Chains A and B, each alone.
Chain A
Amino acid sequence: MTDSMFALIAEELARIAADKGETLPALDPDTRFLGGDLPIDSLDLATLLVVLEQRTGQDPFRAGFVQFNTIGELAALYRPGVPAGAA
């Protein structure tokens, strides 16, 4: 996992939460998306994945569903070295 990918996920999660009027607890790579403390549902998680595809140009799920539970596990699915925000 790259730090920049973690930072990008944290930034977009915060934006999604803010749109719902929620604030996020402190995040770390072991933070779970669903079933943990984050105030997000599966539609929010779906939104995050679409935004990450737009911002990184990568779709790790092209072939279908890949298991991940935590921020760290999701970040590891993206290739390092692609600058966050590069469009």
Chain B
Amino acid sequence: MSLRPPPSWLHPGVRLIEAERSVGWGEIAAQADAFEAAFRAAGGRVALPPRGVPALVAALVAAERAGVELRLSRRTTAAEAEIPHHEPGFAVLLETSGTTGAPKLIRHDFQRLRGRLRGATDPDARWLLAYEPAAFAGLQVILTALAAGATLVSAPGAGAADLARLAVRHAVTHISATPSFWRAFLLALDGDAPPLAAVTLGGEVADQPLLDRLAERFPTAKHRHIYASTEAGALFAVGDGKAGFPAAWLDGGIDGVGLRLRDGVLEVSSPRAMLGGDGGWLSTGDVVEVRGDRALFAGRLDGRVNVGGIKVSPEVVEQVLLDVPGVRDALVQAAANPVTGHILTALVVPAPGVEEAVLRAAIRTAVADLPSAARPRLVTMTGSIALGAAGKKTRKGTA
């Protein structure tokens, strides 16, 4: 059987390197043929468990041919999620990350997903995948590499240290990752460093010391940090090496995106994203402070905190702890650190007569279902939890 041509969004020169195996369009096409038969038989909506990047790409090709919705799961045993109803046809369903175990499914029209791709059409680029393949940001990196016919190095599930080794070994030139990843990447790099030409940060606030360290370590690379919102996706990129963005953008907008502050919260309007609400303006929930000619991010309006690129809610985790038998009261708060931005810590008041070791074990079991970023990393037993003036617990560390 002759090799079918790839879809328009996949350049035949692409190379996918995973687990010491390098595959091209030939191998992807063969797997796509097998998936296509299965997808046509199933019809409607199909799910792909995490099986690595080459399988994910083959499944995208097959789902488009078969005209089915493809759900990309992030865990082997996908939790049941509420499924949005929609017209049938090719689309990609992605699970959101967050505090609770039940992911929300977001349906993405494939052409619109691709419409967000920008820049980097260099076929000689060697990308490292530093996001989960089935996450929105990961899929953007994959689609960028596919369109350019570039090389993509991936190791799903590997930590920053392993990825740093792979980046050096495969002479990676392009990495897009969270600030937390970049900090761990810098901590893991030995004397050797990959020949990076493009350093991109997204998903969390990029702080000035990190931007400075990256500029020092990769002086010839192009550095930029991306601002995105859950609803609207990537909105703008900042390339001047400074944290935040120019305050002038709050008047004139940038790159077709309108920006304004309402009560200190950033609102956006974008022709690329179909935004509902107030005349096309959408509140991002991100608190912004203007200092001089710079607009700087100052936390979330809803109190969620960023742990290694994942937004988690201390309040939701606190509810999980309060449901543990033997817990009389609990306070979950964020502790800042220079590696993952924040971690969650907990103060727990045990009920009388409860043994600490037993309670700790019960808490460990209760939080085991949460994503690891949402688990309180330090649990301190205490006699009481102080209340603030309003009679509410005072939650430090959140904006």
> Is residue B77 within 8 Å, beta carbon to beta carbon, of the partner chain?
no
Q: Are A69 and B338 in contact (CB under 8 A)?
A: no
Chain A residues whose CB sits within 8 angstroms of the CB of B351 once the complex forms: none
> Is residue B187 within 8 Å, beta carbon to beta carbon, of the partner chain?
yes
> Is residue A34 within 8 Å, beta carbon to beta carbon, of the partner chain?
yes
> Is residue A24 within 8 Å, beta carbon to beta carbon, of the partner chain?
no
- Nearest Cβ distance between residue A7 and chain B, in whole angstroms? 20
Q: Are A42 and B160 in contact (CB under 8 A)?
A: yes
Q: Are A61 and B337 in contact (CB under 8 A)?
A: yes
Chain B residues whose CB sits within 8 angstroms of the CB of A50 once the complex forms: 335, 337, 343, 345, 377-378
> Is residue A41 within 8 Å, beta carbon to beta carbon, of the partner chain?
yes
Chain B residues whose CB sits within 8 angstroms of the CB of A47 once the complex forms: 343, 377-378
Q: Which residue of B lies closest to A45 (CB)?
A: B339
Give the A-B contact count at a CB cut-off of 8 A. 86
Q: Are A46 and B343 in contact (CB under 8 A)?
A: yes
> Is residue A35 within 8 Å, beta carbon to beta carbon, of the partner chain?
yes
> Is residue A51 within 8 Å, beta carbon to beta carbon, of the partner chain?
yes
Chain A residues whose CB sits within 8 angstroms of the CB of B56 once the complex forms: none
Within residues 167 to 215 of chain B, which ones have a CB less than 8 A from any CB in chain A?
180, 183-184, 186-190, 207-210, 213
Interface size class of A (residues with CB under 8 A): 20 to 34
Quick one: CB contact mask for B331-362 with A, threshold 8 Å, 1 for yes?
Answer: 00001011110010100000000000000000
> Is residue A10 within 8 Å, beta carbon to beta carbon, of the partner chain?
no
Total B residues in contact with A, Cβ cutoff 8 Å = 31
> Is residue A66 within 8 Å, beta carbon to beta carbon, of the partner chain?
yes
- Nearest Cβ distance between residue A57 and chain B, in whole angstroms? 14
Quick one: CB contact mask for A45-70 with B, threshold 8 Å, 1 for yes?
Answer: 11101110100000001011111110
Quick one: CB contact mask for A25-41 with B, threshold 8 Å, 1 for yes?
Answer: 00000001111100001
Q: Are A45 and B184 in contact (CB under 8 A)?
A: yes
- Nearest Cβ distance between residue B283 and chain A, in whole angstroms? 28
- Nearest Cβ distance between residue A33 and chain B, in whole angstroms? 6
Q: Are B337 and A34 in contact (CB under 8 A)?
A: no
Q: Which residue of B lies closest to A49 (CB)?
A: B337
Q: How far is the CA of A68 from the CA of B335 in the complex (A)?
A: 20
Q: Are B209 and A42 in contact (CB under 8 A)?
A: no
Identify B164's interface contact among A33, A35, A43, A67, CB under 8 A: A35
Identify B161's interface contact among A34, A46, A61, A65, CB under 8 A: A34
Q: Are A43 and B308 in contact (CB under 8 A)?
A: yes
Supplied contacts A34-B164, A43-B372, A50-B378, 8 more A-B pairs, CB within 8 Å: A34-B187, A41-B159, A42-B159, A45-B184, A46-B343, A46-B377, A50-B335, A65-B338
Per CB-CB distance, the 4 closest pairs between chain A and chain B, nearest first, are A64-B209, A35-B188, A35-B161, A61-B338
A-B contact pairs, 16 of them (CB 8 A): A35-B187, A35-B188, A35-B189, A41-B159, A42-B159, A42-B308, A42-B339, A43-B340, A43-B373, A50-B345, A64-B207, A64-B208, A65-B183, A65-B210, A67-B187, A69-B188
